[in-house]
Each structure stands twice: as structure tokens, then as C-alpha cells.
Structure 1
């Protein structure tokens, strides 16, 4: 690994040009945690980067179905390096429950960015979240999860339903103090690793559709210490090989109802909102790693008689990477700030909670597009070797492919966006936040974003429900982009004002980036990334930690 990566062995926090500005805008207390971020940046660019590649290529999780005595255990065997790292990464989930902030949790996720390693923590975090809010009687299990002594999972997907939770068929039958589950889950991330899973199921007699689905907490072992469910098999995946995913069978599995059965669908949507924010920072983190790989290669590789970074076309692509990642970070952490304000709410929710949902949908859908595009562009900047699995950039592009799909594809995000905009009334606070900001900036690009946002909201309201759905994905993209322009301006630096103008021209006006950007290194070669030396591990000399 260390010989095929430019970004390996570097502190990914030290090289970060945008996140400090974003945190300064949305989390006033972040500087008290800068040492922690610095330490985590070393881990993300070092051991986590190395282990992720090792697992991907040589040490995928293996399902062990039986113990020495022939008893079913359905447990995965992991690389010892991944086992150790998983426990260390559990710190990601502790911040919101130890008097800190969701901003720190998601900053860690952005710096880590590996979908497999981060997925293990996000599904564990969603389990912690459900216990913390709606099943406090299981606080000891929550503490195990937070300390890395156990892992959680969110098992909702069934083969006939996919993202349609209303199609769930797993049955829940009460039996004294517990419930029994019958059925199967088709795609269960964490299968074989999970100790406590939150599972959607339909209580007997519940109405059809999503409002008849309840949420249950299912331990791996029942009260007698016996295996509580079976893992039918693990699935082969194109990406995210560090997290085992498989099919799970419930045949009278012991389960505990979380909260109130009739509110189950709302609890599920809460955990999905949390996961969608994680998906957004993960997509952007992959994009940043791709940018680091491509930028450092452009600084060190010569073609046609000069360094790659001296070629205008390469500078144009590096500009594109900078614009997309900075914009995505600004939008995502605005959504995180909204979540921070609303996450303790319970049904029935206030408008503030529905507004947080709206921003999460916009961030998830748009950053998934940016992430896949940026990693693909990073591969292209490597040339032919970018498609060779020996090089780190190939894995980043492959893993980014999952981000538009996990936690609901763009179609689902678009439908949910329409619901919160108009049925839940989030269109008004959205307009009230961003239209005045854009008007106050007063630049031509800000006026462009103002017009796009205003016209899109007005147009959607003139459409029939069917027509609105037909146009929803493009409308979602426009709303996200207009808000992004405002948020980039709001960061207050000269560089981010330039990025805001570039973003508006390219994504709202559909123009090519203006040529002045090629002569502005602060745009495509951000401070902190500039002229980074070739690491010792690339020049063949020994380096600590390699």
C-alpha cells in the first residue's frame, strides 16, 4: 500500500483547507478539540489508510459458521489489524453522548472516509442513538457499543422492498416480556460482527404500510446465551469490503420493542437521517482523499516536458475538485448544525426537525454525486495507472460508487425532499434562510443563485404531484446548489468567495469554469496542500509507521 499512495502517511487534518473554516462557522467550540482532530488526522492518513487497503485486497471478513464443537456461531473472522482498529475507531461515536457535539463525530467521519470502516461505526452509532433516546433500559448495552466492546447494526432492508419500508414482511409476535421475530433481512451490514442490531418488523395486527412497522432491538445471543439469529451468507460487494454484509434469518428470534410500536417508522427515519449525514461526510472524505492523491501526483509527475500541475487542463480539473469538495462540506455541515439543534426531539416533531431532515436530504444526494465524480476524476488524472488496483486511487473510486445508493438513492431523497418541503412546511424556512443571505452578498453569482432558488420553489408549487416527482431530482440538485453558493460566501474568506462564484457559474449557470481560475493557485492548490514534499515511503527510504 505505502508504495502506491501519495496521501498515505500524511496527517489528513493538517492538509485540510476547508473543514477548519466550516467548523468555525457552525461550531464555535471546535478549537478546544483541535488536538483530537490532529491526532485523528494522523490515524486517518496512516494506520486506517493502510488497514483499509490491506482488508480490501488481502483480508476480507470471512464468515465462520461453526465452533470447534460444531455449534452454530455465525461470526466473522477479521484481520487482527482491523479488529484493533475497529475498537480504536469507536471513539467516533462517543462525542455526542459525552457533552460534545455531532460536529466532532462527523469531522472524524470525514477524515476517516473509508466506507467499510466508517460504516461499522455509523451502524453502531445508529444503534446507540436508538437506545439512548427510546430504550434507556438497555444503557449497559449502549456503553458496550460506545467503548468498542460490541458493535451494532441497522437491519431494515428486505428483498421485496428495498428502500420501501412499508413493504417489510418480517413479523413480530409478543411473548411475555419479549417479542419473537420471523422472517429475513436481505442486506444486513455488519452481519456476523454485530452484537446488538436495531431491526424493523411488523407486529401482528399492525396496519399495512410504513406506519405499521415497529423498531426492535435484537441481541446476537438470547437470554440463555444461545445464538439468536442466523447469518445465511455474506455478500460479495464491489466496494466497502471492510464491513461484512449478508442475509440474516429470524426464526423466533428474541427481540425487545424500542419505544412505542406505533412510532417505529419515525424512529427508523431518525436513524436514517443520521446515517444520511454520515453518508455525506463519507462521500466528501473519499473525494478529498482522491484530490490529495491527484494533486500530489500532479506536483511530482512530468508529462510533455513539464509538471502535470503546470498544464491548464489539469489545473481546470483540480479547480473542479476544490469547488465541489468545499461546496459539499459547507452544505453538509450546515445540515449537521441543523441536526445538532433538533436531534433530541421526539414525535410529534417541530418544524425545526423537519428542516433538519430537508437539509440532510439535500446534502446526502448532492455530495454523493460530487464524491463519485471527484474520485472518477482523480483516477483520470492518474492516467492509465489510475485504473490499476495497485494504486490507492482505484479503491477510492470503487468505494465511492456505494455513496449514491446507501441510505436511499437519489429517487428516495427526491421524494422525501418533496414531502418535507411542502407537506411538512420546510420550504418557507429554507427560503427565509438562504434568499436574504444571497441578496445581501450582492454579486452577480449570488443573484444567479437567488433567482435559481426562488424560481425552483415557485415552479414546484405549480406542478401536480406526478409532475413534481418527475422533476424532483433536478429540483433537489438546484436547491442544494443555490444553498451551497450562499454557504460558501458565508464562510467569510476570499478563497471561499471565489469558490462560491465558481460554483454558481458552473452548476447553476452551466458554464465552464472561467479561465482566470487557472492563474489563481489558491483555488486549485489550497494553502496547506501546496508543494507538499514526496514522502519518504515513495522515494524508497524508510519511514516510521510504514
Structure 2
């Protein structure tokens, strides 16, 4: 409309342009350095190919998938039971792209190469920035593999389909599909994280299979091809593989009661179900179900770290892009001193979380070959899951504030990230569960304490504040009478010390700043409280996608 029009009121100006497609790998210096440092650099070509997809089509499809929530189709129009979930085509495209590039299977298809789990973590990290909801079935499919290996016959039949790069959403028996996804059903109404309170029962049949009667309060990804579930036998809790479709093509007796109306994670379906003599096969031994499925849980907890770090990275990308273009009071936001402090503080936290996540991924990768790394992974996964997932919601809220009111509307993507932010601190064990798990490991597995301090002592002398923190942590566990009461403080400080150790040994540009502010006390309780001599411009440039 021209200025001469009687309806012309103003020109639209001083708005940040759309970020548009970008390379989520090539523009992420912290991720690229971390992958090389932790042993996954050999996969750079594959990661680079996915980076263009993640910052392009995957990002666009992610918006659409979240605007169109899945719907439960319990019955067809004639009244026949369906128990199916209807998804928008954008969801299926996101899943197709994720599986095509191996977000669910890259580590297992390359497990003969050191660093495969690091490279796979990078794939998941880029995927989650574009669309986090599909991370649920992709994560569980990835993490189910070690558990399924407890059953040789099951593994022989299922793993080729689980490790396939084909996305096949058809409702068919496993043998007729080109690729399969796996979900999980652990918790029940009366118990939550206390799975010993479960009431679901499994009865052994003459052919060696089991019939399961009961329910699951959170049944993740009800559109999957099979689920690992917990149920009681006479010997105690067992872990079972429950397929959606039986070998003869009939549907298993799994009744979806409703889909969860969730705060976020809108593209993905979570459900409540009942089992009406559903058929399943045991994985491992009767009575050893918790120990069997915990191998899956350990990997999903690492993915919680990956997912939260990814959400933080994407929120930072959005905040920096806006601040580079938006002007206020005569200059760009990024040129204002206080905004520099906020953005640099966010960049520092994002880098520390990503660096620790990749370090834990290396420990998980090396665990089968190195007892010390296995012990470190056992402890550091719980520490990192607690701390990184706790940092995510306030981080994203601060990034929203950088956009002002624009960060509170859906078009900016920040509301979706903010709704998603609390999930990973709740999923696979809340903060208290993680802290208790840390105490349990330290008490029952003394090698985990040795591995933790070995990691910190590798950076001893690099910074005085880290040295002092190592001293404090070495005596933090002495008073056993108050240990659980103090465990959140202890685990928080363990996490910060680990982050500082990783950054200092890596020679990261913000390593000394991190140690001084997070361990040395030169920092407030909110973001934007860095000291005046911090390298603001250098840290923002390191984190930005484009100027």
C-alpha cells in the first residue's frame, strides 16, 4: 500500500529478518569442537549433511508438526477397536528424516568405531533443536538396544529392524516392516518413579510367552511397534517386550485410554493404556526387570542431557539473531552493554552444558572397553541429567526476554521451546531421583567416586577456583546424617566442577570466566551478572549463527 493511500498508517521497520534456513553443524563452533575433542570427528561428513537438513527442512517441518497435535482414533466408524494415533504428514516427515540420518541407530551401526555415541549425540542435538517431540520415539528406539540384547532370540529378530534407517509407520507385524520403533511403559498411577509399587501382572504361558494384565499411567510413544514394559511375575518384576501387532497380524490387547494433554511436546503422543491379557516376551530373567531396563534408562537420561542442551542452543540462536538486528535507543541490542552481558552469560552456560554432555557421551561410548569410563558414565549421567535439565527452563525464559514481547508469541519459536524445557527434568526420573541415584552410586559403587575425582584432578592447577572446589567436594560426603538433605547442593556443585574441568582442559575461550563466575562466586543468581572484564564480543561471536 502506498503512502498516498487513505488507509496507510505506518511502515514496518526495525524488525529482525527471519532467520531462515541455516547450517546447524557448520555454524555451531562449540558442537564441532566438542565432537572432535571427544572422538567423533570421523563422522564429520555425515554430521555436516544432517546439519543442513536440521537447520532447514527439519526446522520448517517441526513448526507444522507442533501446530497439528496427534489425535487418538480409538474406533473406526463401525465401532471396531483401532487404538491408533493420527499424525500430520509433517510429523512423519520429521521422523523419516531423523531415521534416515540415524538419530536412533547411528551408534549401533558404527559401534566398532570409537566415538560412535559422540557422533550420534551430535545428530540428536541438532535434531532436537528443530523438533524435540520426535526425540521421544527416536531416543527410546536407540536406548532399547542394550536391554534387548539380554534376550538372544529377541535381539536376532528385532535388532535388524530397530537399526534400520527406514521409517515405516505402517501397522504390520514386525517381520513385514522395513524398520521399527520402540517405546517404553514403566510407571503406573500409584507409584510413578517407585516402580516397585507397580501392580501389573505377567503370567507365563505354555509356549513360553506371557500374558499381561494391568495398566501404565505414562505409556510413551503409543504409535511404536513394540514397548519395553515392567510387570510382576511370581519371581518379582520382569521386563517384557510387548509388540503392537502379533505375528499372525492381529492386534495385541493394548487399549489406549486417552492421550496425555501435555504442557509441551505437542508433536508427540503420550498415553495411558490398559493391558487386557496382552501378549509379551520376557527380556532377561524374571525378577530382574528393573536391572534389565535400567540399561535403557541410562541411555535415555543421556538423551535428556542432549535434549536440554539442544533447546538451550536453539534459544540462544534465536536470541542472538534478534539482538543482532533489532535496534533500541539508537543502536543494535547486541551493542548495549547490559544485553552483551546477558547474551554472553547465556552463551557461556550453553557451551558448558554442551561440553559436559559430549564428555558423558564419550564415557558411555568407552564403557564397554574401559572400566574407569564406565564408572564415570554411571555417575556423571545422573549428575548431568540433574543439572543441565534444571538449567534449561530459566535459560530459555531469559532468551525469551531478549526478544521482549516478540519472544512471547508463537511465531518466534521461543514459546514452544519454553513449553518443552521442563520435560527432561521430569522424564526418566525427576531431580530428586537423580540426586538419590548419585548417592546410591557413591555408596554402592566406590569406583564411581574414584572416577569422578580422577576427572576433576586431571584439571588440577588449571584454575584456583576449581582447585578449591575439588577440596570442598572431597569432604562434602563425610556427614552421612545430613547427606540426603544436602544432596541437591552437592550434585549441583559436582556438575559445575565437571563443566569447569571439561572447559579448562579443552582450552575453551570462556573456561576461566566460567570457573571464576560459577565456582569463584563472581556471579549473581540471574543471567547477565558477569564481571565487567568478561570477553563479551568474543563469546557472542563464537555462539552466533550469522552476523
Q: Is 1:251–2:276 an aligned residue pair?
A: yes
Decide whether the 8 Å contact of 1:152 with 1:195 is kept in 2: yes
Q: Per-residue deviation at 1:32?
A: 2.7
Q: Per-residue deviation at 1:222?
A: 2.6
Change (3 A) 1:528 1:393: closer
Partner of 1:490: 505
Partner of 2:360: 335
Q: Per-residue deviation at 1:261?
A: 2.0
Q: Per-residue deviation at 1:139?
A: 2.9
Q: Per-residue deviation at 1:107?
A: 0.7
Change (3 A) 1:335 1:74: same
Q: Is 1:515–2:528 an aligned residue pair?
A: no
Which of residues 190, 214, 218 in structure 2 aligns to 1:183?
Answer: 214
Q: Is 1:200–2:217 an aligned residue pair?
A: no
Decide whether the 8 Å contact of 2:183 with 2:226 is kept in 1: yes
Q: Per-residue deviation at 1:297?
A: 0.3
- Equivalent positions of 1:452-467 (< 5 A) are 452-464=469-481, 467=482
Decide whether the 8 Å contact of 2:460 with 2:466 is kept in 1: no
Q: Is 1:427–2:449 an aligned residue pair?
A: yes
Change (3 A) 1:333 1:292: same
For structure 1, the residue ranges without an aligned partner over 5 or more in a row are 207-211, 532-546
Question: CA separation in 2, counterparts of 1:49 and 1:76?
Answer: 23
Could you report, residue by residue, the CA deviation over 1:136-167 in whole angstroms, capped at 9, with x for unpaired residues? 43433222233233221011011111111211
Give secondary structure in 2 for the equivalent of 1:525.
helix
Change (3 A) 1:272 1:389: same
Q: Is 1:384–2:395 an aligned residue pair?
A: no
Give secondary structure in 2 for the equivalent of 1:73.
strand
Decide whether the 8 Å contact of 1:355 with 1:420 is kept in 2: no
Q: Is 1:150–2:180 an aligned residue pair?
A: yes
Could you report, residue by residue, the CA deviation over 1:361-390 in whole angstroms, capped at 9, with x for unpaired residues? 111111112222221111111101211123
In the comparison of the two structures, how many residue pairs are matched? 507
Question: CA separation in 2, counterparts of 1:197 and 1:527?
Answer: 39
**After the TM superposition, which of the residue ranges 134-143 and 470-479 deviates more from structure 2?**
134-143
Q: Per-residue deviation at 1:498?
A: 4.3
Question: CA separation in 1, counterparts of 2:17 and 2:154?
Answer: 47
Decide whether the 8 Å contact of 2:523 with 2:531 is kept in 1: no
Q: Per-residue deviation at 1:398?
A: 1.4
**After the TM superposition, which of the residue ranges 334-343 and 138-147 deviates more from structure 2?**
138-147
Which of residues 241, 245, 250 in structure 2 aligns to 1:221?
Answer: 245
Question: CA separation in 2, counterparts of 1:265 and 1:530?
Answer: 47
Partner of 1:22: 34
Which of residues 519, 524, 538 in structure 2 aligns to 1:504?
Answer: 519
Q: Per-residue deviation at 1:326?
A: 1.0
Give secondary structure in 2 for the equivalent of 1:63.
strand
Decide whether the 8 Å contact of 1:361 with 1:413 is kept in 2: yes
Question: CA separation in 1, counterparts of 2:381 and 2:202?
Answer: 31
Change (3 A) 1:335 1:106: same
Decide whether the 8 Å contact of 1:452 with 1:508 is kept in 2: no
Q: Is 1:63–2:72 an aligned residue pair?
A: yes
Decide whether the 8 Å contact of 2:200 with 2:231 is kept in 1: yes
Decide whether the 8 Å contact of 2:16 with 2:326 is kept in 1: no
Decide whether the 8 Å contact of 2:382 with 2:438 is kept in 1: yes
Q: Per-residue deviation at 1:249?
A: 0.7
Change (3 A) 1:4 1:513: closer
Decide whether the 8 Å contact of 2:70 with 2:85 is kept in 1: yes
Which of residues 285, 306, 327 in structure 1 aligns to 2:331?
Answer: 306
Could you report, residue by residue, the CA deviation over 1:181-221 in whole angstroms, capped at 9, with x for unpaired residues? 11000011111x11111101111x23xxxxx3211000012
Decide whether the 8 Å contact of 1:506 with 1:513 is kept in 2: no
Which of residues 69, 84, 94 in structure 2 aligns to 1:85?
Answer: 94
Q: Per-residue deviation at 1:500?
A: 4.4
TM-score (norm 2): 0.88
Change (3 A) 1:513 1:136: farther
Decide whether the 8 Å contact of 1:351 with 1:424 is kept in 2: no
CA RMSD in angstroms comes to 2.3
Q: Is 1:474–2:486 an aligned residue pair?
A: no
Partner of 1:76: 85
Partner of 1:95: 106
- Equivalent positions of 1:393-432 (< 5 A) are 393-425=414-446, 426-432=448-454
Partner of 1:46: 56
Question: CA separation in 2, counterparts of 1:316 and 1:508?
Answer: 11
Give secondary structure in 2 for the equivalent of 1:365.
helix
Q: Is 1:10–2:13 an aligned residue pair?
A: no
Change (3 A) 1:7 1:217: farther
Decide whether the 8 Å contact of 2:23 with 2:54 is kept in 1: yes
Change (3 A) 1:509 1:378: closer
Could you report, residue by residue, the CA deviation over 1:57-115 in whole angstroms, capped at 9, with x for unpaired residues? 2x111111224654212111111122132122122122222224111211111111133
Could you report, residue by residue, the CA deviation over 1:318-368 in whole angstroms, capped at 9, with x for unpaired residues? 1111111111112112211111122589xxxx6753431101011111111
Partner of 1:438: 459
For structure 2, the residue ranges without an aligned partner over 5 or more in a row are 1-14, 168-178
Partner of 1:448: 465
